[in-house]
């Protein structure tokens, strides 16, 4: 595990080839035990805490950032270690107080993953609700956009404002439960908090505050352009280059590669994209075809 500040850890760090999300843990140093923020999809990845002298049975709380299975898939298995573990999630991402795979395309994507719905012990309904465990207080900040019930958990400790945001970089377009306008308002709310450390679900730790600000603003612009390309004009070369350039600035080289490749399929002579692609390849990013598949899926759903 990696220590972020005293008693706050990264359990499952960012892995561009992994199927789950980053998982974080706080040791409350009290009878409230260990608090997980999200849980991922593989129980074995959580067993790393044992190497640092912790025990899975001491995980007494799990704060779920939003209703996407890569953030909570393994939760039911946690009950095998502590049947009294409590789960927390927002009302708008819970159905009948349970977390289920609600989106058909997501269900298809994880068709081979064995998942059992979990009961949510505490439904978060109000913005800025406080969850207290020992001397640690988590403020629940409702940040709709990626999903209706996305929640960021703010913890102030060791002189730092630490945000567990789930998927601040998550897709937030007007498709599959996303809402661009809501997302932009949510991100502006987070900007005003002046976060020192952002603990993302699919990204390395982001710090200090100046870098967090750049990260949030960058993804606001990325989602604006993504909304244009996916839902309005898949051949908008200006928006595609903006997507590639913003991704590069944010050091998300896998997405930069994908956007550049797709842009050059449409406009092979684009010199700016050629140059950016050459620079991107120096970072040896993993290759995948996300944007093309996403556009096709969105087009099929809309039509």
Q: Residue 229 contacts by C-beta under 8 Å, 6 or more apart in sequence?
A: 236, 239, 240, 243, 291, 295
176 secondary structure, DSSP code: T
pLDDT confidence bin for 300, thresholds 50/70/90: low
Average pLDDT of the segment spanning 63-76: 92
pLDDT number for residue 8 = 98
Residue 16: per-residue pLDDT? 73
pLDDT of residue 178: 87
Report d(CA 302, CA 295) in Å as an integer: 10
Which one, of 220, 155, 169, 158, lies nearest residue 66 by Cα? Answer: 169
Could you tell me which CATH number the domain at 233-302 has? 1.25.40
Tokens, residue 122: 């505490």
* Residue 96's pLDDT band (cuts 50, 70, 90): low
- What pLDDT sits at residue 303? 40
User: Could you tell me the CA-to-CA distances from 114 to 23, 68, 78, 166, 227 in Å, in that order?
Assistant: 20, 15, 14, 22, 32
CATH class, domain 2-223, is alpha beta
User: Sign of torsion, CA 50 55 56 62?
Assistant: negative
Q: Contact at 8 Å (CB) between 46 and 61?
A: no
Q: Note the pLDDT of residue 97.
A: 54
| 3-class secondary-structure state, position 35 | strand
pTM passes above 0.95: no
pLDDT for res 299: 73
**Per-residue pLDDT, 301:** 54
Alpha helices in the chain (DSSP H): 43-46, 69-72, 75-78, 104-109, 180-191, 209-231, 237-249, 253-266, 271-281, 290-302
High-pLDDT (> 90) share of the chain, %: 75
Average pLDDT taken over every residue of the chain:
91
Question: Rounded mean pLDDT of 2-24?
Answer: 90
Neighbours of 111 (CB within 10 A): 8
Q: How far apart are CA 303 and CA 299, in angstroms?
A: 6
Q: Which two tokens stand for residue 294?
A: 């996403």
Q: Is the pLDDT of residue 275 over 80?
A: yes
Query: Is residue 302 over pLDDT 50?
Result: no
Q: Which residue has the higher pLDDT, 177 or 72?
A: 72
Per-domain boundaries in the chain: 2-223, 233-302
Token reading at 290: 């996300």
Q: pLDDT tens digit string along 133-156? A: 999 999 999 999 999 999 999 999
């Amino acid at each position: 595990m990696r220590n972020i500040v005293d008693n706050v850890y990264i359990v499952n760090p960012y892995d561009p080839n992994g199927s789950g999300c980053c998982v974080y843990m706080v040791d409350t140093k009290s009878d409230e035990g260990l608090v997980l923020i999200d849980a991922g999809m593989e129980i074995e990845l959580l067993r790393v805490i044992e190497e640092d002298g912790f025990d899975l049975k001491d995980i007494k709380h799990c704060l779920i950032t939003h209703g996407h299975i890569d953030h909570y898939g393994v939760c039911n298995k946690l009950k095998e270690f502590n049947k009294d573990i409590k789960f927390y999630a927002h009302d708008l991402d819970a159905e009948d107080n349970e977390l289920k795979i609600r989106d058909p395309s997501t269900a298809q994507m994880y068709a081979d993953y064995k998942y059992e719905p979990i009961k949510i012990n505490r439904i978060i309904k109000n913005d800025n609700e406080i969850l207290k465990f020992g001397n640690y207080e988590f403020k629940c900040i409702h940040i709709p956009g990626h999903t209706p019930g996305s929640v960021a958990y703010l913890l102030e400790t060791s002189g730092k404002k630490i945000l567990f945001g789930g998927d601040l970089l998550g897709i937030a377009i007007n498709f599959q439960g996303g809402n661009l306008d809501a997302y932009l308002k949510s991100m502006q709310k987070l900007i005003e908090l002046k976060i020192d450390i952002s603990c993302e679900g699919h990204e390395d730790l982001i710090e200090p505050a100046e870098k967090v600000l750049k990260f949030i603003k960058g993804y606001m612009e990325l989602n604006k352009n993504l909304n244009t390309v996916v839902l309005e004009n898949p051949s908008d070369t200006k928006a595609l280059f903006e997507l590639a350039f913003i991704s590069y600035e944010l050091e998300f080289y896998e997405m930069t590669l994908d956007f550049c490749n797709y842009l050059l399929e449409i406009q092979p002579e684009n010199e700016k994209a050629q140059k950016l692609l050459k620079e991107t390849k120096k970072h040896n990013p993993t290759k995948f075809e996300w944007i093309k598949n996403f556009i096709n899926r969105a087009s099929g759903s809309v039509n």
